[in-house]
Structure 1
Amino acid sequence: MHEGNIRPFEDLVMQVTDRALTAKDASKPYVGLEHIPSSGTSLRSLGNAGDSISTNGVFAAGDILFGKLRPRLRKSVRVDQAGYCSTDVLVLRARPGIDAAYAGYIAQSDEVFRRAIQTEEGTKMPRCSWGDVRTTRVFFPATQVHQQRIAAILTSLDNAIEATEALIEKHQQIKAGLMQDLFTRGVLPTGVARPEPASEPDLYHSLGGRIVPKSWREAELQDIAQVGRGKFTHRPRNDPRFLGGAFPFIQTGDIAAAAGDYLDTYSQTLSASGAAVSSCFPTGTIAVTIAANIADTAILSIPMYFPDSVVGVVVTGAADVRFVELSIRRSKPRLEAMAPQSAQKNINLQDLRPLKLMLPPLEEQQAISARYEAAHRPIKALRNGLAKLRAQKLGLMQDLLTGKVPVTVPEPALPA
């Protein structure tokens, strides 16, 4: 462990309690909890100070904004400009002699968030307070130079993470534009998209209220696939006799996380008894969520089981699996609109089976799918790289912000 000691968090930072009651500088931004990303390092968006009519906190460049409402969301960032914020945000400022960047990383550490979560109060709107968080015991490097060195290492990773996130966003925008073209104009046998309807109207016709290529037809999902609901009939659902075996069992959260991709990972399994009261769906099945999260999708890379909150779509030979998955995903707004406005949204087989899709000839479906996969491949690679960078940062934070691993600071050069 390198030089330093363990001291209260308040020895590094102080709370800033300045308030703006009515008049605010409209040229400055407003930051609400919605602008602070969970486990993020910088603000992703900003509000307008003029739009906030309530009392706000006041922050300066270099301050730390720490979300005290629902601390489990781990919202803490250091800002590079002055502005106003929600009173559900603690404004913290590095004390004199403390490196502001280092203090910002300590505010994102497991130690601080663990204390915030342990001391939160309230059921529906749990909050922590500075009075509790300030006593958190954190690592205090012996010199500001050591603090700056630790912050520099973590900042270099943050820069790499943000650059990767920006590349992913750029590729996603390109892919979104490509998908819009492919699902309205399709692909010619030459591999290029058809001309726009305005320039070549004879290539298109009106079908189901849409202008689509003449070779396309309208079909219901049940015409091109077997659509069946998952099941797990045993109660209670968490009976250990029915869990922990060799049969992969996925839930809506697993499918939402896959975001339409191929799914071969799972966090839960069924025993032989559990499998007997559930349903197995084969490789290539499109899993579609129908409760809470509506129309999230994934394609099974291996046979899997799931409960009745998920529907399995097993495509026949008349259609391409990826094309059908993309069509269902693009139908998400329509399917969400069908869900009753209750405490938990849900749809059923009667909503999904007659879902109308525009269906090109099979060869064109496959060409569209191939274009999608080519556009998605670099995004997948970047996401894998991003996951590795985040894991690396997490490991370094645990090592450097606890003093477990020392950092070296160059000795000052001796005069000649």
Structure 2
Amino acid sequence: MSEDAQVVLGSLSELVAPVDEKIAVKKDPNLPYVGLEHIGQRNSQLLGWAPSETSVSVNSVFEAGDVLFGKLRPNLRKCVSAPFSGYCSTDILVLRVRNGNNPGFAARVFQTEAVGAEAERTSMGTKMPRTSWKGLSQFKVPIPEPKHQSKIAEVLDTLDAAIRGTEAVVAKLRAMKQGLLHDLLTRGIDANGDLRPPHPEAPRLYHQTPLGWLPKEWDVTKLGDAAESVVDGPFGSNLKTEHYVSQPGVRVVRLQNIQDGYFDDTEKAFIRESHAARLIRNQVVSGDLLIASLGDDGHPVGRACLYPEELDAGINKADCFRFRGRAVCRNAYAMLFLNGHSARRQARGYEQGVTMKRINLGNLRRIKVALPPIPEQIAIEERATAIEASYSASLRELDKLRLQKSGLMDDLLTGRVPVTPLL
């Protein structure tokens, strides 16, 4: 590191000072209130705020630019730079820069993993641990000169703006994807490659079915009747955790691999080939449809994905169903339908259990499926695949930006990489 970019270590108390001003009555109704619930985990922006009258207890007073650092359960890493003046929970430390330091830089320092870890280390209490300014104040951090601080804050603010913009694109594409899937599964695609007009606009194109108004060319059948085969996993004792081996082996498809429209290959399990040979009934191959029989609020019962082309044949475990469609039903189309609103609503009607919801094979087979002609199924798949590709690309871009920000924060705030070339 060059001489002009050297960074000295200083205590947090040299960077900021605590603000102890409190208020209980006669709060300004025009000022907002910020509670811990308004600060996201590892999020540099406020999630929201509330009117000052919503808090009837004693509040801390803060000004725009102050650092708001959550001292309750510091493992949640709640810290933002205040974008306005107002009141906040007393479970939030209000910290104000001193000695000419940059407010944006100070907030970034308190968002680092190093400060978060120190806050955890100095916490008191078991169920609801709290850190304190006394515990944090002497922790050493790199403190560059103010002009370097300003540039570091500017660089990270620019990245944050790019992240927020990409998050907005992701949210828009997610909504578009959900809306398009609903239209594809209820209106379909006509001979010209366009979505049919909705039923109210062109009732002549639709007929009444057990699933509501659907295009006249479509049939409705039970999932079991559309299947060449649909099987569950082996009986419990035939495939247990103790049967797993390290690679090489035959892949085991488990519940956590089946996500909403995609196969999550993060967690892998294998069994010996000799054992897999005894479970041939439960074999899955490229293109097979995998359906989850268990779920919770975040992972719906009946969610479905295709077994990836790049994986060798595997074995599906208990709580995982394998579906192979007849000539009238393509596996990829069945996946889209099972992940759609109509199938989800039907699956909820068959669910059993409280914490973990379950659907059995018999009830899964009873789910009614809307079946377009095969050429239209293919067209629906292609349209859904196109928007999924755009959505996935935006997610990858978001992940890249977040990783870039994490790396830059670590490099710039530790002084490992000088900010001088950016000035």
Range of TM-score over shorter length: 0.7 to 0.9
The yes-or-no answer on 1:291 pairing with 2:334 is: no
Q: Contact 2:239 / 2:317 at 8 angstroms: preserved in 1?
A: no
Q: Distance in 2 between matches of 1:235 and 1:58?
A: 63
Aligned ranges 1:355-366 → 2 under 5 Å: 355-366=367-378
What's 2:187 paired with? 185
1:305 shift after superposition: 5.4
Kindly, what percent of the aligned residue pairs are identical? 34
1:354 shift after superposition: 2.1
Q: 1:72 to 1:323 in 2, by over 3 A?
A: farther
1:101 shift after superposition: 1.2
Q: Contact 2:69 / 2:93 at 8 angstroms: preserved in 1?
A: yes
Equivalent position amino acid for 2:7 in 1: G
The yes-or-no answer on 1:6 pairing with 2:16 is: no
The yes-or-no answer on 1:390 pairing with 2:402 is: yes
Structure number, greater radius of gyration? 2
**1:353 match: secondary structure:** helix
**2:96 match: secondary structure:** strand
Deviations along 1:190-221, one digit per CA (max 9) or x if unpaired, are 11111221222122122225222222222223
Equivalent position amino acid for 1:260 in 2: G
User: Which deviates more from structure 2 when the two are superposed, residues 292-301 or residues 185-194?
Assistant: 292-301
Equivalent position amino acid for 1:178 in 2: L
**1:390 match: secondary structure:** helix
1:86 shift after superposition: 4.5
Equivalent position amino acid for 2:392 in 1: K
1:26 shift after superposition: 4.9
Q: Contact 1:220 / 1:354 at 8 angstroms: preserved in 2?
A: yes
Q: Distance in 1 between matches of 2:325 and 2:172?
A: 32
Equivalent position amino acid for 1:265 in 2: D
Equivalent position amino acid for 1:218 in 2: V
User: Which deviates more from structure 2 when the two are superposed, residues 379-388 or residues 228-237?
Assistant: 228-237
Q: 1:364 to 1:154 in 2, by over 3 A?
A: same
Equivalent position amino acid for 2:97 in 1: A
Q: 1:341 to 1:51 in 2, by over 3 A?
A: farther
What's 1:270 paired with? 270
Q: Distance in 2 between matches of 1:274 and 1:17?
A: 70
Q: 1:339 to 1:42 in 2, by over 3 A?
A: farther
The yes-or-no answer on 1:327 pairing with 2:334 is: no
Aligned ranges 1:23-38 → 2 under 5 Å: 24-38=27-41
What's 1:206 paired with? 208
Q: Distance in 2 between matches of 1:233 and 1:316?
A: 28
Q: Distance in 1 between matches of 2:235 and 2:15?
A: 52
User: Which deviates more from structure 2 when the two are superposed, residues 209-218 or residues 280-289?
Assistant: 280-289
1:348 shift after superposition: 3.8
TM-score using structure 2 length: 0.80
Q: Distance in 1 between matches of 2:314 and 2:125?
A: 39
1:340 shift after superposition: 5.1
The yes-or-no answer on 1:260 pairing with 2:265 is: no
Q: 1:207 to 1:166 in 2, by over 3 A?
A: same
The count of aligned residue pairs is: 406
Q: 1:357 to 1:110 in 2, by over 3 A?
A: same
Q: Distance in 2 between matches of 1:56 and 1:346?
A: 46
**1:380 match: secondary structure:** helix
1:134 shift after superposition: 4.0
Give unpaired runs (5+ residues) of structure 2. none
Aligned ranges 1:3-152 → 2 under 5 Å: 3-19=6-22, 21=24, 24-53=27-56, 56-120=59-123, 125=128, 127-141=130-144, 143-152=145-154
Q: 1:65 to 1:341 in 2, by over 3 A?
A: farther
Q: Contact 2:211 / 2:368 at 8 angstroms: preserved in 1?
A: no
**2:64 match: secondary structure:** coil
Q: 1:242 to 1:251 in 2, by over 3 A?
A: closer
Q: Contact 1:215 / 1:360 at 8 angstroms: preserved in 2?
A: yes
Give unpaired runs (5+ residues) of structure 1. 412-416
Deviations along 1:320-339, one digit per CA (max 9) or x if unpaired, are 33332222222445545654
Q: Contact 1:17 / 1:57 at 8 angstroms: preserved in 2?
A: yes
What's 1:221 paired with? 223
Q: Distance in 1 between matches of 2:37 and 2:363?
A: 33
What's 2:169 paired with? 167
Q: Distance in 2 between matches of 1:104 and 1:250?
A: 45
Q: Contact 2:14 / 2:99 at 8 angstroms: preserved in 1?
A: no
TM-score using structure 1 length: 0.81
Equivalent position amino acid for 1:376 in 2: E
Q: Contact 2:256 / 2:267 at 8 angstroms: preserved in 1?
A: no
User: Which deviates more from structure 2 when the two are superposed, residues 21-30 or residues 71-80?
Assistant: 21-30
What's 1:414 paired with? none
